[in-house]
Amino acid sequence: FKTFQISIYPYLCKTLNFFNSTSLNPSFSQAQTVNQDHFIIRIKPSSSPFSTALETLQTQIGYKFQNIGLLRRAMTHSSFSRANNIALGIFGETLISTSFSLQCLDKNVDMSGKDLNDRISEISNVESSCAVDAMRLGLEKVVRVSPKTNSSVPTVVCGAFRAIFGAIALDSGKLDVAGDVFVRVHGGQIGEALAM
């Protein structure tokens, strides 16, 4: 809760009218008169649709961020802001490849370099793998883009998808945690790729 002290009654009325006329819609949990000219109002901030979408996304992937700012950045395309997901996406892509390579070689240490590379390419493919996972999570509805950018373009949602895992690694301080979340989110397709 935030506490505001408003000194003059007309400003209080303007403030209340402002909140009622905007999408902020705070819930006024308590208003008390200190004297004729002073009021104390405690306002419980409401969640934005973006914040609600981030909460839902955390539930879907099974990971709760300590620093929600990292997930916010992961869900911000470069067309929307300079503080965007490009670096997190690059990190996430590398992390996904490394995690998948570890699983492949753990299952078959004699796998050829060509086979490993082919499998990594398959699981990293923007349209047939990455964007499919992103759309299954509904990232096209979460990622913030400029009005001129289509949020369901495979490169946009794939970048956001990869950035999630870079953000998880930074948030947890552990690459394994991000790799485990990827395996959980990507699901059975990893098993299929490993069985090839």
Q: What pLDDT is recorded for position 40?
A: 58
Model pTM above 0.75: no
CB atoms within 10 A of CB 178: 25
Per DSSP, the three-state class of 35 is strand
pLDDT by 10s per residue, the chain, length 196: 444 444 444 544 554 554 444 444 444 444 444 455 555 555 555 578 999 999 999 999 999 999 999 999 999 999 999 999 999 999 999 999 999 899 889 999 999 999 999 999 998 888 888 999 999 999 999 999 999 999 999 999 999 999 999 999 999 999 999 999 998 998 755 444 444 4
Residue 33 has what pLDDT?
Answer: 45
Residue located via tokens 């911000």: 76
The sheet with strand 27-35 has its strands ordered as 2-6, 38-44, 27-35
**112, 45 Cβ separation under 8 angstroms:** no
Question: What's at 73, amino acid-wise?
Answer: R
Q: What is the dihedral of CA 33, 37, 42, 47, to 10 degrees?
A: 140
Output the pLDDT for position 186: 87
3-state helix, strand, coil in the chain (%, to 5): 60, 10, 25
